[in-house]
């Protein structure tokens, strides 16, 4: 989901369920929780968490099937299971599929792996932070220049944090120090810009939301600098993914509660399943199946029919494609003129 410009008065007609800004803001409580864990670990637990946690939550299979993959799968299910959405966006999807195939298929022969990795990492960070700043934009009511200033300082700092965590084994000590200085400078600029920009925000709640997004980056940098890489990634990952699910579930409840409009909700009504759980359960089940069994199944089928072994066709191939397509489609499917927005209202 990318940057829907939210408004308190932007409540669609006949919308029964609204997205609560207070609920969205409460997700940022993961920031003090992770900071407290780091302080307890450094002060009382003798660095047990630092030593035993992996570099990223994505290295935990359980974390991936809870936070990483499901919301990407849910986004794809929402788009392709509703005929009206698919008809409207299928040309965009097919063209982007071709672009991705050509770029990563042909480009991988000429573009170094690190360059491709940094490109994907940058797109990932942009997607995550643009969603959060976009959600806050309608509450903060910042001038365009102030919104973009905070967004891009956050994104650039986030990209360097991402690189510092996931490429740290290929960086020497001097490069890591330079990276920390660069991120530190960006974070000082971000905090200073927030102080400057907050005078344009009329409500205390709006200021809280703006600072929550600023602290999202500042806390990730602090945790990165303290070498708590897992927690540094967990903070923005959890806020982003749960925020997305709140939008998805609200959308599906308002669209399909009066009358199911696709086969998924026809079946769920026949089974008397609450609308709230249908998309999460389906996407979690698909994520688990693909992550746990997808690669081995494709490998066995390729070996049986063609006598070749294909490795990580699902976890790198299919799920990688879905992730990139998710970043692309969410940049326009939640905009003001999108049919998605007919089923989304907001409340404080």
Q: What's the pLDDT tens digit per position in 152-201?
A: 999 999 999 999 988 888 888 899 899 999 999 999 999 999 999 999 99
pLDDT of residue 12: 42
Place of tokens 């991402």: 162
Least trusted range by pLDDT, from 4-18, 33-47, 105-119, 138-152: 4-18
Task: Share the mean pLDDT of the chain.
Answer: 89
Token pair belonging to 321: 């494609």
| Distance between CA atoms of residues 333 and 93, nearest Å | 12
**CB proximity list for 21: less than 8 A, separation 6 or greater:** 6, 139, 205, 209, 346, 347, 348
Within 13 Å and on the Cβ side, how many CA atoms surround 306? 8
**70-96 confidence digits (pLDDT tens):** 999 999 999 999 999 999 999 999 999
Token pair belonging to 307: 């006598």
Cα 115 to Cα 105, 119, 312, distances in angstroms: 14, 6, 21
- Cβ atoms of 323 and 121 closer than 8 Å: no
| Distance between CA atoms of residues 334 and 4, nearest Å | 6
Higher pLDDT, 4 or 39: 39
Place of tokens 């500042």: 218
Strands, E, within the chain: which ranges? 19-20, 346-347
**258-307 confidence digits (pLDDT tens):** 899 999 999 999 999 999 999 999 999 999 999 888 888 888 888 878 77
Place of tokens 């959405």: 85
Q: Is 341 exposed, middle or buried (0-12, 13-18, 19+ CB in 10 A)?
A: middle
- Cβ atoms of 93 and 325 closer than 8 Å: yes
The closest alpha carbon to 333, from 132, 142, 89, 129, belongs to 89
Q: Give the pLDDT band (50/70/90) at residue 40.
A: very high
| Distance between CA atoms of residues 172 and 113, nearest Å | 18
pLDDT of residue 57: 54
**107-161 confidence digits (pLDDT tens):** 777 888 888 889 999 999 999 999 999 999 889 999 999 999 999 999 999 999 9
DSSP assignments along 16-81, one per residue: ---EEHHHHHHGGGHHHHHHHHHHHHHHTSTTHHHHHS-SSGGGSHHHIIIIISHHHHHHHHHHHH
Tell me what the mean pLDDT of segment 16-38 comes to.
95
Tell me what the mean pLDDT of segment 41-56 comes to.
86
Whole-model pTM: value is 0.89
- Cβ atoms of 3 and 338 closer than 8 Å: no
């Amino acid at each position: 989901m990318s940057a829907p410009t939210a408004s308190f008065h932007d409540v669609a007609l006949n919308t029964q369920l609204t997205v609560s800004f207070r609920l969205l803001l409460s997700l940022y409580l993961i920031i003090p929780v992770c900071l407290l864990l780091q302080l307890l670990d450094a002060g009382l637990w003798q660095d047990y968490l630092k030593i035993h946690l992996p570099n990223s939550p994505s290295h935990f299979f359980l974390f991936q099937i809870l936070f990483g993959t499901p919301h990407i799968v849910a986004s794809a299910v929402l788009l392709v299971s509703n005929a009206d959405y698919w008809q409207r966006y299928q040309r965009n999807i097919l063209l982007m599929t071709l672009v991705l195939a050509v770029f990563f298929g042909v480009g991988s022969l000429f573009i170094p792996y690190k360059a491709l990795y940094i490109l994907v990492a940058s797109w990932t960070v942009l997607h995550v932070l643009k969603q959060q700043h976009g959600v806050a934009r309608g509450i903060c009511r910042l001038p365009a220049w102030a919104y973009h200033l905070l967004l891009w300082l956050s994104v650039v700092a986030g990209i360097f944090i991402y690189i510092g965590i996931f490429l740290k084994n290929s960086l020497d000590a001097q490069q890591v120090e330079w990276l920390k200085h660069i991120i530190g400078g960006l974070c000082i600029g971000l905090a200073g810009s927030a102080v400057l920009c907050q005078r344009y925000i009329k409500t205390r709640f709006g200021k809280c939301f703006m600072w929550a997004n600023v602290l999202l980056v500042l806390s990730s940098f602090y945790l990165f600098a303290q070498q708590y890489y897992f927690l540094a990634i967990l903070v923005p990952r959890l806020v982003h993914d749960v925020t997305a699910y709140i939008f998805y579930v609200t959308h599906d409840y308002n669209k399909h509660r009066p009358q199911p409009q696709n086969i998924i909700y026809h079946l769920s009504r026949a089974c008397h399943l609450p609308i709230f759980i249908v998309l999460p359960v389906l996407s979690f089940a698909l994520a688990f199946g693909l992550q746990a069994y997808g690669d081995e199944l494709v490998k066995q089928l390729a070996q049986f029919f063609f006598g070749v072994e294909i490795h990580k066709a699902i976890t790198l191939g299919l799920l990688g494609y879905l992730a990139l397509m998710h970043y692309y489609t969410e940049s326009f499917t939640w905009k003001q003129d999108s049919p998605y927005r007919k089923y989304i209202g907001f409340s404080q």
